[in-house]
Structure formats: C-alpha cells, structure tokens
A and B are shown apart, each in its own frame.
Chain A
Amino acid sequence: EADIYQTPRYLVIGTGKKITLECSQTMGHDKMYWYQQDPGMELHLIHYSYGVNSTEKGDLSSESTVSRIRTEHFPLTLESARPSHTSQYLCASSEGLARRDEQFFGPGTRLTVL
C-alpha cells in the first residue's frame, strides 16, 4: 500500500472560512498532484508539482493554491471556501519525471462547504 496521507479525511465548514488540506508522502517522490472528483465523475487535475518550489495549475480552473516547500509535503489552501468547492480532493505522487510512471493516491478529503 502506498505511503501517501491526507488529512482531514472529512471536513464540513461554513462559507468564507480559510482551509488547508494536507497531503504528505514518505516515498521521496518528486511529482505530486491534486485532483478534484465529484461523486460519480472523473478526476480533474487542479494542481501539480515537479519538485520543491515548483507548482503548476492543471486542466480544471481552481480557486485553490498550493505550495511545495518540502519534497514530502504538498498542501492545498482555499482562502475563502464556498459551497461550489464542495467535492472530494485527491492527492497523488509519482516517482520521477517520466510520463510513464504510475501515480500513487491518498485516501482523499471529502469537503462540504455549507
């Protein structure tokens, strides 16, 4: 089983709150990703990182921001949560820069904004 962790697993908050979703991996992987997944729908890439101090936006526009100060840590922040942000957020990592590498996923954070 992959060593990639996400906290919290579930979060219910009110509109306007600032939240940070945590993601950590102990595999020393260079690349990390954040996906958004609505129930019964496909995953959409919202952010990714090639390594420390590298972050890029993905296909799906997102009001969230990310940082990569340490290799093992890739937190996602929403400055002011809204009901439209209600979704499941999945973090993933892969070993190197090769596009053939598979990704390892965390268990996800299910976010509900009231």
Chain B
Amino acid sequence: AQSVAQPEDQVNVAEGNPLTVKCTYSVSGNPYLFWYVQYPNRGLQFLLKYITGDNLVKGSYGFEAEFNKSQTSFHLKKPSALVSDSALYFCAVRDGSTGANNLFFGTGTRLTVIP
C-alpha cells in the first residue's frame, strides 16, 4: 500500500531564512514523488517531481527537494523564504513499479513566512 506522511501541520519561518517542509513516503515499488502548492482560492500547482536520477530535484519558484531512499523521505526546501511562499504544500506519491495510477497525497503542511 502507498502512503505519504507530512508530520508538520504548520511551519513558520522568517522571511529570508531557509525553509524545509518534511515528507516521508511508503510504497512497495519505485516511488514517483511530487510536491504541489495550493494558494488560497486557487487550484493545486505542480512544483517538482522525482522519478529517477539525481536525488536533488529543482523546481518552480526556487524550490528544490531531496530524495533520500534510505530514509524514505522527500523534503521540500528553499534557501531563502519569501512572504509570497506562504501557502499549503502537499507531498504526493505514486508507485512507479505497478500499474496503479492513483496519486496518494499527504495531509498538507501550511507554510507561513513571517515578514
């Protein structure tokens, strides 16, 4: 079975400081991992994904994420947070080794960047 855990409901960070939003996953096969961001009154927007290759993935708006197979983690990071980064962030996983098409989402982490 596939699952995603986002252990922090809320993350607060000062503007200009580095930010990390945590995600751990569980799949039986090869993980396909995604990060999405949801701004108020808007749909989810794709940020980045890991399929294979380099463990450090770079995405939109200066975000990056590091795939760690041994820790089954895919934490989202940004070196310097902006107030405009404040939003709800979702990690998602799909089992790339099976025929399953379902994308499993975490419960979301609300990021607040304090000016």
The answer to whether A107 and B42 touch (CB under 8 A), given A45-B103, A59-B102, is: yes
- Please report the C-alpha to C-alpha distance between residue A2 and residue B44 in the assembled complex, in whole angstroms: 10
Q: Total interface residues on A, using CB and 8 Å?
A: 26
The answer to whether A105 and B44 touch (CB under 8 A), given A42-B105, A42-B106, A100-B51, is: yes
* A residues in contact with B32, CB < 8 Å: 99-100
Asked if B46 contacts A43 (CB within 8 A), the reply is no
Q: Total interface residues on B, using CB and 8 Å?
A: 25
Among B44, B96, B100, point to the contact of A90 (Cβ < 8 A): B44
The answer to whether A100 and B90 touch (CB under 8 A), given A43-B105, A105-B43, is: no
Encode A11-54 as 1/0 by CB contact (under 8 A) with B: 00000000000000000000101010000111111001000000
* A residues in contact with B106, CB < 8 Å: 42
Encode A47-75 as 1/0 by CB contact (under 8 A) with B: 01000000000110000000000000000
Encode A70-114 as 1/0 by CB contact (under 8 A) with B: 000000000000000000001010000001101111111000000
Encode B38-54 as 1/0 by CB contact (under 8 A) with A: 00011111100101000
Asked if A99 contacts B107 (CB within 8 A), the reply is no
Asked if A107 contacts B43 (CB within 8 A), the reply is yes
Check B34 for interface membership: any CB of A closer than 8 A. Answer: yes
Among B90, B100, B101, point to the contact of A43 (Cβ < 8 A): B90
- CB of A23 to closest CB in B, whole Å: 11
Across the A-B interface, give the 3 residue pairs with the lowest CB-CB distance, nearest first.
A105-B43, A105-B44, A43-B105
Q: A-contacting residues of B (Cβ < 8 Å)?
A: 4, 9, 32, 34, 36, 41-46, 49, 51, 90, 94, 96, 100-108
